[in-house]
Amino acid sequence: MTRIGLKKAATPNIPTASTADIAFLLIIFFMVSTHFRTEKGLKINLPRAEMTERILKRRNVAAIWIDATGRMTVQDNWVNPSTITALMSEKVIENPEIVVLLQADKDVKYGFVTDVLEALKDARALKVTFATSYGKGGG
Amino acid sequence: MALSLRPRGRGAAQPNIPTASMGDIAFLIIIFFMTTSIFSREKGLKIVLPEKGAETKIKSENILTVAVNQTGQVLIGERVVNIPEVSTLVREEIEKNPSLAVALRVSRKAPYQVMIEVFDQLKIAKAERISLMPVQEEEGGGQ
């Protein structure tokens, strides 16, 4: 009876030299895609929308948070529409490409939102995005 | 003249950097970044607001008004419609008249969710010209 491979079983060998390279590649991916959250924001439930798009240039984003009762914050400071105008006009001067991300709760009265929009028009911050989460129909 | 740094002669030992644990270290860092990273949640519906004072005049026959009233009902012209119907109706109107601009009038008391849903429907209908009209009603009990 002849057996195949009876000579002397070669020690199994998994090349591990490149795992570090792969791991560092993944690190670089995570470092690039990550960003540390700098503001806490408010507790809100975003409205859902089907045509939700991603904002590509994250560095150009300034967020305004509006919670369900209509309180507003920018960078964790309480604001109202007139202070928004002052704050945002500064930001527009610094960076004309700025996109304002309006993080508003789905149950807030639209009046608060339209006041903010008017304030942004006064501040000439004309690029606005309504933050939504992707999903069909109302939640 | 050979200026060699290597000690000649007594069988120079191969320099050896242990790399076996490099992968472990790298994966440790990966785990750190994975747990701390927040994938950009910055998603939403884009709009470009008109400049103050630069409002363009549009002929009234080229305006389609979509309104949302206080209770969250949606009206196109005078008709009450369901939100999912808005996209098909608006698309039909745009096909009839490609230079149509859609004016979205939302009551100050309407919930934001309804406004976003209608705005979403307008985006689905590929309406290019959407304007959000500020409504200054019912602040002091109706005007």
**Residue B11: band (very low, low, confident or very high) from pLDDT cuts 50, 70, 90:** low
State residue B6's pLDDT score: 57
Closest partner CB to A52 (pick from B37, B45, B68): B45
Sheet with B130-133: list strands edge to edge.
B79-81, B74-76, B63-68, B101-106, B130-133
Q: What is the largest CA-CA distance in chain A?
A: 93
d(CA A55, CA A40): 19
CA B71 to chain centre: 26
Q: Which two tokens stand for residue A65?
A: 């948070």
pLDDT at A66: 92
pTM: 0.72
| Alpha-carbon distance B74 to nearest alpha carbon in chain A (angstroms) | 14
Q: Which helix (H) or strand (E) holds A87?
A: helix A81-94
Interface contact flag, B40 A101, Cβ < 8 Å: no
Looking at the partner chain, which of A27, A54, A111 has a beta carbon nearest the beta carbon of B26? A27
Question: Which of A14-23, B9-18, B74-83 ranks highest by mean pLDDT?
Answer: B74-83
Shortest distance between the Cα of B49 and any Cα of chain A, in A, equals 5
Report the pLDDT averaged over residues A84-89.
90
% pLDDT > 90, chain A:
9
Per residue in A91-112, pLDDT tens? 899 988 888 988 899 899 988 9
Both tokens of A43, joined, read 């507790």
